[in-house]
Structure 1
């Protein structure tokens, strides 16, 4: 390296003299040109970060490798340097992108670890990252008709709406992702990557979008005589005004007329208001990005893959995003951040924001809940003072989510089988079969035969109220027969198969049972959506959302689906949700989660075990799958086989399986 080249591994000052932001693919492609004592240097980075810089800004740079000379231009590749913005004398690290690896343990209600997720949270920085975000965004809107992405041709610049990467109708080349529905040029995206995943698991299991605060916020307040009024500019009354201003605001009032004219022109050209909005936004974004400089941030979107909902990844994603915002001052990378806001109707039905430490503050004038999370001690004090002194806020105390699926009336006493015997008798008669089949059976010594055997013989078992019991045994050993004995008494079924030959089945008088015996006892569905089906039983849509989430169907794409539109595994979970909606205090399931893959079955088993114990439901399931038993952590295991049935300590059974 010559004396004019910058030093390695030692920070030095430089000045931004220009951006390189492509018109297509700018979120992941871009760079800055800086000038230092030895000359000029081009820094490759994402356009989503480079756009926030202006010529004349002072930065600090640390090179880890010698720059490359490409056609006379000195270039620093993405992995070869660190870059700080100098803001009012403070260093703010902006490159490389923020990243953090965490492990999240999933535990039973007793605190025993069942499995773990190893996650990498990082800012999105590649085209593939953003394509994955588009895929996840479709789950958020849960409709094939909703278009969530806008694409642009790298040759002619034409725009097109599509959920899949299209080819340009003019030039025949693959179009590049330009914008994601609802996002702004100021939006920053954090993806959550699943490490150590199985080959069939998704790479990206969630993402968080962070924006600047919304420009204006008014509060809806109840009137003494009924109805609601509006309190304007509520944030500025509670917090220092500069925390939320100047935010990203696309145009000055004096330019609004010309902006609207341009919007109408593009909307007519493309036949789409969304495309027109994206195109106009690009044209006016640079000035708005230069002005934006707040001490707050807004989490505008949190989306988790449907298969991983309800397993703590939403809370983890929000918590990691808070670290990212605090450490890197996202999105503007200028002022230190005091507070993070979110406006989320979903927070009424899912508490993941509150579990990540957010406090419910108020409803907007349109009735959407606003939650905030302090990042500094000053913000914490302001929030606590508001919640304890404001008359409306005092009524809720910062808590928005209230569980809707309340505990059931627990069984008043144990259920038990005392000296229960059940035999099986069948007659094998080959005379009704075609002669060629009779000959085959006779070759094996099969003639007319009466088969009699004990399925259960003098069985004595006890299941305590509110406990989880697992029935284990080989196929045909008598697991289903044992469950039939319990259900015959609990549901008043008088058929031969549901009555013991001798002995007594004791069921508490307050038993309210629900059962899933495939092909025998199953809930029935029509053409209604799952949300309608479950809500009609519970009489509460909020409780219905909780129940569907507890069985791994906690996504709008499932809420809006009918039973017939589901896969086999999803139908099994829908049946389970239907049974839970009956609010039983005894739930009996045969061949539990038999149609699910091991990872999904394990997640559902853990959640159902926790739900049953927390709500007072006595749960009895039959299964031979070790991963399900491990996740359920049953209080007792009932081993069935060769006419016998006896209870065993769960730990010993798990060790032997």
Structure 2
């Protein structure tokens, strides 16, 4: 069958008209790429002139409808290997109005500020255009509908990451990826100056042309697009989930989308997917998927590419081997900046340690009513003596991750105090030389200061890349949030910032009491996982007290120490490290 025409009403709704009077309803982002006279194959069980979203399949050179979709289980590994927890996800092309509304709200996490609004909305009642970062209500009382996401083009298509199994307070859409045709031209910055049209030196020029170049008649501009390359223009993940590997997952799905369906235009086999991404300097998820760094654009932004075919791979490898600047970096851009710390010189040892506390409780200073109530219970002056630890023996190898578990008041905090230098009543506590830092709420808390959080961490570490790396690991991954001051953070965010400040001191020994106490379950396990991995990679000995099972599971400690009734029970991790 041949296409007779198309009509695009919104990104999420359009119609395609076929020979024989058949009308296909689909998303506008899919309909816009079908040109008059294009040949297609229609598969349907319905004998009617108008077919809805779920009533047909449409094919051409590639499958066109229903949209690209994958369901998968995303497993998060513990610091020592093995499963920590998992997500049930769906990655699919955006096709509903609510998908694009979620994209607009996610975009503001990435770019919006007081001076930048990321979306335009239109009121169907009075036709007024509104600028807002979330769905607004018009002054006339009408409910606005999304008109456009600023920064995108008519050629843009979107993948969304949907959380299939979620708690009531978790978002439905966790992230999105925008896929565009190649930009018209690309130049390279070198020490000698600007090298023009560098992309066409590496790969065949017709892979990038004719591409979308905009203009007043955007439909004709779309009809001319016929490229063998795709460009990942944006990857945005909800800031609470940016340490979960979802960015890399979206990129991997975009590669499959481009390879299987020729996205975004679906008219030619794709040889290459590339991106221009400044954030790739600070986060390796493109390289984790297999992208190779090529060069910096004339404006100084890095370009990374992934070959979908053997022909593209040969062109890419030839460039990396023969170009003098590419040989220096070898296709690698991101390099961890935090590095390893100067760890403990030997194990921590507790030998026959006793520690107790005593206090005198009396009725002095109490009101007569309270005294009378206590006397009714037989409470008078009393000396309370409590042995918290009795004859404890414990050894912690350097670089280990240890969790102290037990009920409130069992002695976890007492054990941390001993490791900080408090003297035992009896026995020996040996802590080798090395920097010790601790977070014990109400007793030992690092000062947060008044500076924006990234500025403060940069001042401590003297390296922006390392500062961003540490913030990412403790679950503060929102670029907009980097500008926030501590007083503007929530209680849970301040707790995570304190962890970042402790890590910025590059300690040999990190002691944390009630880890993730102010965080919900999903956030607590993400923070615990990130903290544990960073400590292992950097050689930091971590001793953390918690009573939360999801935190223990995510940390996957070398040693679990149950504290209570004066003694400790040691539970080493089973199995070797991976």
The answer to whether the Cα contact below 8 Å between 1:150 and 1:180 also exists between their aligned partners in 2 is yes
Tell me the residue number matched to 2:338: 405
Q: Tell me the secondary structure at the aligned position of residue 161 of structure 2.
A: strand
Tell me the residue number matched to 1:376: 309
Q: CA deviation at 1:499?
A: 1.9
> Which of 432, 440, 445 is the aligned partner of 1:517?
440
> Which of 83, 87, 111 is the aligned partner of 2:81?
111
> Which of 394, 399, 416 is the aligned partner of 2:349?
416
Mapped partners of 1:443, 1:125: distance in 2: 71
Mapped partners of 1:132, 1:339: distance in 2: 29
The reply to whether residue 530 of structure 1 matches residue 530 of structure 2 is no
Tell me the residue number matched to 1:149: 119
Q: CA deviation at 1:508?
A: 0.8
Tell me the residue number matched to 1:32: 16
The reply to whether residue 504 of structure 1 matches residue 428 of structure 2 is yes
Mapped partners of 1:624, 1:633: distance in 2: 14
Q: Any residues of structure 2 matched to 1:260-275 within 5 Å, and which?
A: none
> Which of 28, 36, 56 is the aligned partner of 1:81?
56
Tell me the residue number matched to 1:123: 93
Measured on the aligned residues, the alpha-carbon RMSD in Å equals 1.5
In structure 2, relative to structure 1, the CA distance for the partners of 1:295 and 1:157 (3 Å cut) is farther
> Which of 52, 59, 69 is the aligned partner of 2:33?
52
Q: Tell me the secondary structure at the aligned position of residue 179 of structure 1.
A: strand
Task: Name the stretch that deviates more: 564-573 or 157-166.
Answer: 157-166
Q: Tell me the secondary structure at the aligned position of residue 21 of structure 2.
A: strand
The answer to whether the Cα contact below 8 Å between 1:29 and 1:45 also exists between their aligned partners in 2 is yes
Tell me the residue number matched to 1:19: 6
Q: CA deviation at 1:566?
A: 1.0
Q: CA deviation at 1:145?
A: 4.1
Tell me the residue number matched to 1:9: none
Mapped partners of 1:307, 1:640: distance in 2: 32
Tell me the residue number matched to 1:6: none
The reply to whether residue 468 of structure 1 matches residue 401 of structure 2 is yes
Which digits, 9 at most, give the CA deviation of each residue in 1:406-426, with x for residues without a partner? Answer: 011221110111122222110
Tell me the residue number matched to 1:202: 171
The structure with the largest alpha-carbon Rg is 1
Q: Tell me the secondary structure at the aligned position of residue 459 of structure 1.
A: strand
Query: Normalized against structure 2, the TM-score is what?
Result: 0.97
Tell me the residue number matched to 1:450: 383
> Which of 488, 493, 513 is the aligned partner of 1:570?
493
Q: Tell me the secondary structure at the aligned position of residue 62 of structure 2.
A: strand
Tell me the residue number matched to 1:335: 268
Mapped partners of 2:322, 2:261: distance in 1: 33
Q: CA deviation at 1:404?
A: 0.2
Which digits, 9 at most, give the CA deviation of each residue in 1:256-290, with x for residues without a partner? Answer: xxxxxxxxxxxxxxxxxxxxxxxxxxx42111111
Q: Tell me the secondary structure at the aligned position of residue 304 of structure 2.
A: strand
Which digits, 9 at most, give the CA deviation of each residue in 1:36-67, with x for residues without a partner? Answer: xxx31111111111111222222111113222
The reply to whether residue 300 of structure 1 matches residue 242 of structure 2 is no
The answer to whether the Cα contact below 8 Å between 1:430 and 1:448 also exists between their aligned partners in 2 is yes
Task: Name the stretch that deviates more: 342-351 or 602-611.
Answer: 602-611
Q: Any residues of structure 2 matched to 1:175-190 within 5 Å, and which?
A: 175-190=144-159
The reply to whether residue 348 of structure 1 matches residue 281 of structure 2 is yes
Tell me the residue number matched to 1:623: 546
Q: Tell me the secondary structure at the aligned position of residue 432 of structure 1.
A: coil
In structure 2, relative to structure 1, the CA distance for the partners of 1:78 and 1:646 (3 Å cut) is closer
Q: Tell me the secondary structure at the aligned position of residue 342 of structure 2.
A: coil
Q: CA deviation at 1:502?
A: 2.1
Q: Tell me the secondary structure at the aligned position of residue 340 of structure 1.
A: strand
Mapped partners of 2:411, 2:504: distance in 1: 29
Q: Any residues of structure 2 matched to 1:537-548 within 5 Å, and which?
A: 537-548=460-471
The answer to whether the Cα contact below 8 Å between 1:459 and 1:646 also exists between their aligned partners in 2 is no
Mapped partners of 2:521, 2:15: distance in 1: 45
Tell me the residue number matched to 1:645: 568
The answer to whether the Cα contact below 8 Å between 1:142 and 1:556 also exists between their aligned partners in 2 is no
Which digits, 9 at most, give the CA deviation of each residue in 1:188-237, with x for residues without a partner? Answer: 011010111112111000100001111110000113xxxxx000000111
Which digits, 9 at most, give the CA deviation of each residue in 1:604-640, with x for residues without a partner? Answer: 1122112111211100011111111111111112222
The reply to whether residue 607 of structure 1 matches residue 530 of structure 2 is yes
Mapped partners of 1:610, 1:435: distance in 2: 56
The reply to whether residue 243 of structure 1 matches residue 212 of structure 2 is no
Q: Any gaps of 5 or more consecutive residues in structure 1?
A: 1-13, 68-73, 86-90, 224-228, 252-282, 489-497, 653-657
Q: CA deviation at 1:144?
A: 4.5
Q: Tell me the secondary structure at the aligned position of residue 556 of structure 1.
A: coil
In structure 2, relative to structure 1, the CA distance for the partners of 1:142 and 1:149 (3 Å cut) is closer
The answer to whether the Cα contact below 8 Å between 2:112 and 2:133 also exists between their aligned partners in 1 is no
Mapped partners of 2:572, 2:38: distance in 1: 69
In structure 2, relative to structure 1, the CA distance for the partners of 1:234 and 1:49 (3 Å cut) is same
In structure 2, relative to structure 1, the CA distance for the partners of 1:31 and 1:475 (3 Å cut) is same
Task: Name the stretch that deviates more: 545-554 or 156-165.
Answer: 156-165
Q: Tell me the secondary structure at the aligned position of residue 2 of structure 2.
A: strand
Tell me the residue number matched to 2:557: 634
Tell me the residue number matched to 1:549: 472
The answer to whether the Cα contact below 8 Å between 2:35 and 2:223 also exists between their aligned partners in 1 is yes
